[in-house]
Amino acid sequence: MNEGAVKSAGARRPGRPRTASESDARERLLDEAERLFAEHGFYGVTVRDVTRAAGVDVALAHYHFGAKRGLFDAVFLRRAEILNADRLLALEAARADAAPDEPTVETVIQAFVGPVLARWASGDPGWKSYCALVAQVNNTPSWGGKTMTRYFDPVVQRFINALRQALPDLAEADLFWSYHFLSGALTLTLAETGRIDLLSAGVARSGDHDAVMARMPRFFAAGFHALARKD
């Protein structure tokens, strides 16, 4: 008999029939890769780390995803699509609520940060990891900008347009820099490094979704408006 896979991490039910496409080993590889990449970065994780955590042979990762980078891209793509759909829905809802007016700056920001913060605070550790991963990529100089652009900026452009309509007096450069500030604050929040806990001696807690949601839209709406004022 097969005596490999000594410490199988899987909850694999042996009797259940399964079609080829719904392999749960593949899903487990994605989950473990997500967790490990988020914690240690792309180069800080080996393919063997991932396959060991998933309880499968190292060759299986290459069978499903090709090279190591393919595995990373698959991880990054999986939830990006969900997040983009969430955001577009939230933007449309904000537009519907405000009709026949355009939604306010604060409402647009809420539609932008709300979906990701909700997933982040949902209790699903997969989403927590994914958010931390995005934060790291967004601050990676060599290939982070291009990666973020590719996966997220088509939707981001829609939000930029909505912000532009809400702030007709804001210069174009101001608009993009303001979004840039928002993006940096959001990703640092999602990184959840624990620094704010230490700095504030516990007054503010890294994972406090409600605290962020209560402050971020108002804080950044004020910033956008401040740059729009010409004085």
Partner DNA sequence: AGATATATTCAACGTTCGTTGAACGCGCGA
Partner DNA sequence: TCGCGCGTTCAACGAACGTTGAATATATCT
Q: What is the contact mask toward a second copy in residues 154 to 183, using x (rule: CB under 8 A)?
A: --xx--x-----------xxx-xxxxxxxx
56 binds, among a second copy, DNA, none (CB under 5 to 8 A by kind): DNA
Task: Please check whether residue 169 is in contact with residue 230, taking contact to mean a CB–CB distance below 8 angstroms.
Answer: yes
Q: How far is CA 141 from CA 45, 113, 136, in A?
A: 19, 23, 10
Query: 64 or 68, CB closer to a second copy?
Result: 68
Q: Which among 194, 220, 188 has a CA at the least distance from the CA of 207?
A: 194
Q: How is the chain split among helix, strand and coil, in percent rounded to 5?
A: 70, 0, 30
In the complex, what is the shortest distance from the CB of residue 130 to DNA, in angstroms, rounded to a whole number?
20
144 forms part of the interface with a second copy (CB under 8 A): yes
CB of residue 176 to DNA, shortest distance in Å: 36
Q: Is residue 43 a contact point for a second copy (CB under 8 A)?
A: yes
Q: Which is nearer to DNA, 51 or 147 (CB)?
A: 51
Which residue reads 């995803």 in tokens? Answer: 65
Number of residues in contact with a second copy under rule CB under 8 A: 68
- b vs e for 109-126, b when ≥16 Cβ sit within 10 Å of the residue's Cβ? bbbbbbbbbebbbeeeeb
CB-CB contact of 60 with 25 (8 Å): yes
Answer for which of 58, 165, 198, 207 binds a second copy (CB under 8 A) is: 198
In whole angstroms, how close is the CB of 214 to a second copy at the nearest point?
A: 9
- Which range, of 64-72, 77-85, 88-96, 129-137, touches a second copy by CB under 8 A? 129-137
Contact residues toward DNA (CB under 7 A) are 2-5, 14, 17-21, 23-26, 45-49, 55-64, 66-69
Geometric angle at alpha carbon 207, from 210 and 193, rounded to 5°:
145
d(CA 221, CA 166): 11
Cβ atoms of 214 and 110 within 8 Å: the answer is no
Which chain residues interact with a second copy by CB under 8 A?
38-44, 132, 135-136, 138-142, 144-146, 148-149, 153, 156-157, 160, 172-174, 176-189, 191-200, 203-204, 206, 211-212, 215-216, 218-227
